[in-house]
Structure 1
Amino acid sequence: MNIDIPEMLIRAQELQKGGDYTYSRKLYKEFFECNDTHPLRFKALFEVADNYYHAKNYKSAKHGYEDFLEYCSVQEDVTEQESGWIDAYTKLANSRLKMIEQIVDKGKK
Protein backbone atom coordinates (compact mmCIF):
# COMPACT_ATOMS: atom_id res chain seq x y z
CA MET A 1 0.00 0.00 0.00
CA ASN A 2 1.45 3.34 -1.06
CA ILE A 3 0.65 6.38 1.02
CA ASP A 4 1.25 10.00 0.27
CA ILE A 5 3.91 11.47 2.49
CA PRO A 6 2.62 14.68 4.05
CA GLU A 7 4.54 17.85 3.25
CA MET A 8 5.23 18.39 6.96
CA LEU A 9 7.20 15.13 7.14
CA ILE A 10 9.11 15.92 3.96
CA ARG A 11 10.08 19.32 5.37
CA ALA A 12 11.04 17.80 8.74
CA GLN A 13 13.32 15.31 7.01
CA GLU A 14 14.93 18.04 4.89
CA LEU A 15 15.60 20.08 8.02
CA GLN A 16 17.04 17.05 9.80
CA LYS A 17 19.37 16.31 6.89
CA GLY A 18 20.43 19.97 6.96
CA GLY A 19 21.26 19.79 10.66
CA ASP A 20 18.34 21.89 11.95
CA TYR A 21 17.38 19.34 14.58
CA THR A 22 15.32 21.70 16.71
CA TYR A 23 12.84 22.75 14.03
CA SER A 24 12.80 19.28 12.49
CA ARG A 25 11.94 17.81 15.88
CA LYS A 26 9.13 20.32 16.36
CA LEU A 27 7.59 19.40 12.99
CA TYR A 28 7.81 15.68 13.69
CA LYS A 29 6.28 16.18 17.14
CA GLU A 30 3.46 18.31 15.76
CA PHE A 31 2.74 15.71 13.09
CA PHE A 32 2.63 12.93 15.69
CA GLU A 33 0.34 14.89 18.00
CA CYS A 34 -2.07 15.88 15.21
CA ASN A 35 -2.22 12.58 13.31
CA ASP A 36 -2.99 9.86 15.83
CA THR A 37 -4.14 7.35 13.20
CA HIS A 38 -1.70 8.06 10.37
CA PRO A 39 0.59 5.09 9.65
CA LEU A 40 3.63 7.39 9.64
CA ARG A 41 3.00 8.52 13.22
CA PHE A 42 5.45 5.86 14.36
CA LYS A 43 8.18 7.27 12.14
CA ALA A 44 7.39 10.79 13.37
CA LEU A 45 7.63 9.83 17.04
CA PHE A 46 10.86 7.93 16.43
CA GLU A 47 12.32 10.93 14.59
CA VAL A 48 11.57 13.22 17.54
CA ALA A 49 14.02 11.12 19.56
CA ASP A 50 16.41 10.75 16.64
CA ASN A 51 16.74 14.52 16.30
CA TYR A 52 17.88 14.67 19.91
CA TYR A 53 20.33 11.87 19.17
CA HIS A 54 21.84 13.63 16.16
CA ALA A 55 22.08 16.85 18.19
CA LYS A 56 24.06 14.86 20.79
CA ASN A 57 21.44 15.51 23.47
CA TYR A 58 21.64 11.92 24.64
CA LYS A 59 19.57 12.29 27.80
CA SER A 60 16.59 13.61 25.84
CA ALA A 61 17.19 11.09 23.06
CA LYS A 62 17.12 8.22 25.54
CA HIS A 63 13.87 9.50 27.00
CA GLY A 64 12.43 9.93 23.49
CA TYR A 65 13.33 6.41 22.39
CA GLU A 66 11.87 5.00 25.61
CA ASP A 67 8.65 6.96 25.00
CA PHE A 68 8.57 5.60 21.45
CA LEU A 69 9.01 2.01 22.63
CA GLU A 70 6.32 2.44 25.28
CA TYR A 71 3.90 3.96 22.76
CA CYS A 72 4.46 1.07 20.35
CA SER A 73 4.05 -1.55 23.06
CA VAL A 74 0.49 -0.45 23.87
CA GLN A 75 -0.79 -0.24 20.30
CA GLU A 76 -3.62 -2.62 19.49
CA ASP A 77 -5.25 -3.47 16.18
CA VAL A 78 -2.45 -2.08 14.03
CA THR A 79 -2.42 -2.67 10.31
CA GLU A 80 0.20 -4.82 8.63
CA GLN A 81 1.87 -1.66 7.36
CA GLU A 82 1.92 -0.12 10.83
CA SER A 83 3.30 -3.35 12.25
CA GLY A 84 6.16 -3.07 9.77
CA TRP A 85 6.90 0.49 10.89
CA ILE A 86 6.79 -0.58 14.53
CA ASP A 87 9.15 -3.50 13.97
CA ALA A 88 11.67 -1.49 11.95
CA TYR A 89 11.76 1.51 14.25
CA THR A 90 11.75 -0.61 17.41
CA LYS A 91 14.93 -2.32 16.23
CA LEU A 92 16.51 1.02 15.41
CA ALA A 93 15.42 2.56 18.73
CA ASN A 94 16.95 -0.33 20.65
CA SER A 95 20.15 0.04 18.64
CA ARG A 96 20.28 3.77 19.39
CA LEU A 97 19.73 3.11 23.10
CA LYS A 98 22.72 0.75 23.10
CA MET A 99 24.81 3.39 21.33
CA ILE A 100 23.78 6.02 23.88
CA GLU A 101 24.77 3.69 26.70
CA GLN A 102 28.18 3.16 25.10
CA ILE A 103 28.68 6.90 24.55
CA VAL A 104 27.71 7.72 28.14
CA ASP A 105 29.91 4.94 29.54
CA LYS A 106 32.83 6.11 27.41
CA GLY A 107 32.35 9.65 28.73
CA LYS A 108 32.61 8.41 32.32
CA LYS A 109 36.10 6.97 31.75
Structure 2
Amino acid sequence: MTLSEPTPPAKTTAMLKGEKWDWTAWDSFDMNMGDITLAEFIQFFESEYNLDVSMISHGVSILFSFFANKKKLAERMKMKMSEVVANVTKKELPPNQLLLFRNHC
Protein backbone atom coordinates (compact mmCIF):
# COMPACT_ATOMS: atom_id res chain seq x y z
CA MET A 1 0.00 0.00 0.00
CA THR A 2 1.21 3.46 -0.85
CA LEU A 3 -0.17 6.86 -0.07
CA SER A 4 0.05 9.77 -2.44
CA GLU A 5 -1.42 13.18 -3.00
CA PRO A 6 -3.68 13.66 -6.02
CA THR A 7 -2.17 15.71 -8.81
CA PRO A 8 -3.77 19.05 -9.56
CA PRO A 9 -6.04 19.23 -12.62
CA ALA A 10 -4.70 20.52 -15.93
CA LYS A 11 -5.04 24.27 -16.43
CA THR A 12 -6.44 25.97 -19.50
CA THR A 13 -5.56 29.58 -20.23
CA ALA A 14 -8.12 31.96 -21.70
CA MET A 15 -8.51 35.72 -21.94
CA LEU A 16 -11.30 37.12 -19.78
CA LYS A 17 -12.05 40.82 -20.16
CA GLY A 18 -8.51 41.46 -21.40
CA GLU A 19 -6.77 39.55 -18.62
CA LYS A 20 -5.15 36.12 -18.59
CA TRP A 21 -7.36 33.58 -16.83
CA ASP A 22 -6.22 30.07 -15.88
CA TRP A 23 -9.06 27.65 -15.14
CA THR A 24 -9.41 23.93 -14.46
CA ALA A 25 -12.16 21.34 -14.58
CA TRP A 26 -12.60 21.97 -10.84
CA ASP A 27 -13.58 25.62 -11.32
CA SER A 28 -17.18 26.77 -11.48
CA PHE A 29 -19.29 29.90 -11.91
CA ASP A 30 -22.29 30.73 -9.76
CA MET A 31 -24.71 32.76 -11.84
CA ASN A 32 -27.78 34.23 -10.22
CA MET A 33 -29.71 35.28 -13.33
CA GLY A 34 -33.18 34.00 -12.61
CA ASP A 35 -35.05 31.48 -14.70
CA ILE A 36 -33.83 32.55 -18.15
CA THR A 37 -34.17 30.64 -21.41
CA LEU A 38 -31.52 28.21 -22.55
CA ALA A 39 -30.70 30.55 -25.46
CA GLU A 40 -30.28 33.53 -23.09
CA PHE A 41 -28.06 31.45 -20.81
CA ILE A 42 -25.78 30.36 -23.66
CA GLN A 43 -25.67 33.84 -25.18
CA PHE A 44 -24.74 35.42 -21.83
CA PHE A 45 -22.07 32.82 -21.07
CA GLU A 46 -20.47 33.16 -24.50
CA SER A 47 -20.51 36.98 -24.51
CA GLU A 48 -19.53 37.44 -20.85
CA TYR A 49 -16.73 34.85 -20.73
CA ASN A 50 -15.83 34.61 -24.44
CA LEU A 51 -16.04 30.81 -24.29
CA ASP A 52 -18.01 28.43 -26.49
CA VAL A 53 -20.62 26.35 -24.69
CA SER A 54 -20.35 22.76 -25.89
CA MET A 55 -22.38 21.00 -23.20
CA ILE A 56 -24.68 21.79 -20.27
CA SER A 57 -25.72 19.08 -17.85
CA HIS A 58 -27.86 18.72 -14.76
CA GLY A 59 -26.75 15.76 -12.68
CA VAL A 60 -26.40 12.91 -15.18
CA SER A 61 -28.72 14.50 -17.76
CA ILE A 62 -27.39 16.43 -20.76
CA LEU A 63 -29.51 19.55 -21.30
CA PHE A 64 -27.51 20.92 -24.25
CA SER A 65 -24.69 19.57 -26.39
CA PHE A 66 -23.19 20.45 -29.73
CA PHE A 67 -23.95 16.95 -31.04
CA ALA A 68 -27.63 16.82 -29.97
CA ASN A 69 -30.59 16.53 -32.30
CA LYS A 70 -31.02 19.97 -33.91
CA LYS A 71 -34.84 19.85 -33.70
CA LYS A 72 -34.74 19.11 -29.95
CA LEU A 73 -32.18 21.87 -29.42
CA ALA A 74 -34.34 24.39 -31.26
CA GLU A 75 -37.28 23.54 -28.97
CA ARG A 76 -35.15 23.71 -25.82
CA MET A 77 -33.56 27.06 -26.74
CA LYS A 78 -36.95 28.80 -26.26
CA MET A 79 -37.61 27.10 -22.90
CA LYS A 80 -36.76 28.45 -19.45
CA MET A 81 -33.91 26.55 -17.78
CA SER A 82 -36.31 25.06 -15.21
CA GLU A 83 -38.48 23.77 -18.08
CA VAL A 84 -35.47 22.25 -19.86
CA VAL A 85 -34.46 20.44 -16.67
CA ALA A 86 -38.00 19.17 -16.06
CA ASN A 87 -38.40 18.12 -19.71
CA VAL A 88 -35.11 16.22 -19.88
CA THR A 89 -35.01 14.68 -16.40
CA LYS A 90 -38.77 14.12 -16.10
CA LYS A 91 -38.53 15.71 -12.62
CA GLU A 92 -39.39 19.22 -11.50
CA LEU A 93 -36.46 21.38 -10.47
CA PRO A 94 -36.68 22.16 -6.73
CA PRO A 95 -37.82 25.79 -6.22
CA ASN A 96 -34.66 26.68 -4.29
CA GLN A 97 -32.58 25.88 -7.41
CA LEU A 98 -34.53 28.06 -9.84
CA LEU A 99 -32.35 31.12 -9.35
CA LEU A 100 -28.90 29.57 -9.08
CA PHE A 101 -27.12 27.64 -11.80
CA ARG A 102 -23.63 26.35 -11.11
CA ASN A 103 -21.55 26.01 -14.23
CA HIS A 104 -18.38 24.00 -14.33
CA CYS A 105 -15.81 25.10 -16.85
- For the pair shown, which has the larger CA radius of gyration, 1 or 2? 2
Smaller-chain TM-score bracket? under 0.3
More helix by percentage = 1
Q: Whose strand proportion is higher, 1 or 2?
A: 2
TM-score by length of 2: 0.24
Bigger RCO (CA 8 Å, 6+ sep)? 2
